[in-house]
């Protein structure tokens, strides 16, 4: 069963760049570490060799997972998204009903979430609570310490 993930052009480029870094830089480093450890003698009692082989195995597993993710990655066509409601890639201006604070978040795929940059995952509690809402709606979102209410003030696309 394939696990399709949706990405922005930037997110897809970052994924490809990271995979290329692992294959073109990290993989040769791991092979070199194994070769250096092998040159130190008896492999049956060589902890450095065992550690290098284990590190190589973990690296290959990470590369394999990233290749599978990339194979199931789909680029989001922003021009086809409805701008009247909150969807992935929407930038939403919210007002917290409790304290009156206003904030802006862009909803992105889980792999692209970065709270410092104002990007939250569509699969996060806040992201899920905002999906499908329109300007003027109130989003009630269950968070660990209760329920928060946000007024949707504005929805834009990048």
Has domain 78-157 been given CATH number 3.30.300.180? Answer: no
Instruction: Say what the pTM is.
Output: 0.61
Q: Provide the pLDDT for residue 78.
A: 67
* Residue 2, pLDDT above cutoff 60: no
5-75: CATH architecture: Orthogonal Bundle (1.10)
Rounded Cα distance, 4 and 22, in Å: 22
Q: Are strands 102-108 and 90-96 parallel, antiparallel or unpaired?
A: antiparallel
* DSSP codes joined into one string, 99-153: T--EEEEEEE-GGG-BGGGTEEETTSHHHHHHTT-BTT-EEEEEETTEEEEEEEE
Domain ranges of the chain: 5-75, 78-157
50-95 confidence digits (pLDDT tens): 888 999 999 999 999 999 988 888 887 766 666 788 888 889 999 9
* Residues 14-47: b if buried by 16+ CB within 10 A, e if exposed: ebeeebeebeeeeeeebeebbeebeeeeeeeebe
**Dihedral over alpha carbons 136, 141, 147, 152 (to 10 degrees):** -20
* Better-predicted residue by pLDDT, 158 or 103: 103
Contact 152, 131 (CB under 8 A): no
């Amino acid at each position: 069963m394939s696990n399709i993930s949706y990405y922005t052009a930037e997110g897809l480029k970052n994924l490809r760049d990271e995979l290329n870094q692992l294959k073109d830089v990290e993989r040769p480093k791991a092979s070199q570490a194994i070769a250096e450890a092998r040159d130190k003698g008896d492999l049956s009692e060589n902890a450095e060799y065992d550690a290098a082989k284990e590190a190589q195995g973990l690296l290959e597993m990470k590369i394999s997972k990233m290749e599978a993710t990339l194979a199931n990655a789909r680029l989001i066509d922003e021009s086809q998204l409805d701008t009247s409601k909150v969807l992935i890639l929407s930038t939403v201006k919210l007002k917290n009903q409790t304290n009156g604070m206003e904030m802006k978040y862009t909803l992105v795929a889980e792999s692209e979430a970065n709270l410092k940059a104002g990007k939250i995952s569509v699969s996060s509690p806040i992201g899920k609570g905002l999906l499908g809402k329109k300007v003027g709606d109130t989003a009630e979102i269950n968070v660990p310490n209760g329920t928060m209410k946000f007024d949707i003030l504005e929805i834009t696309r990048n």
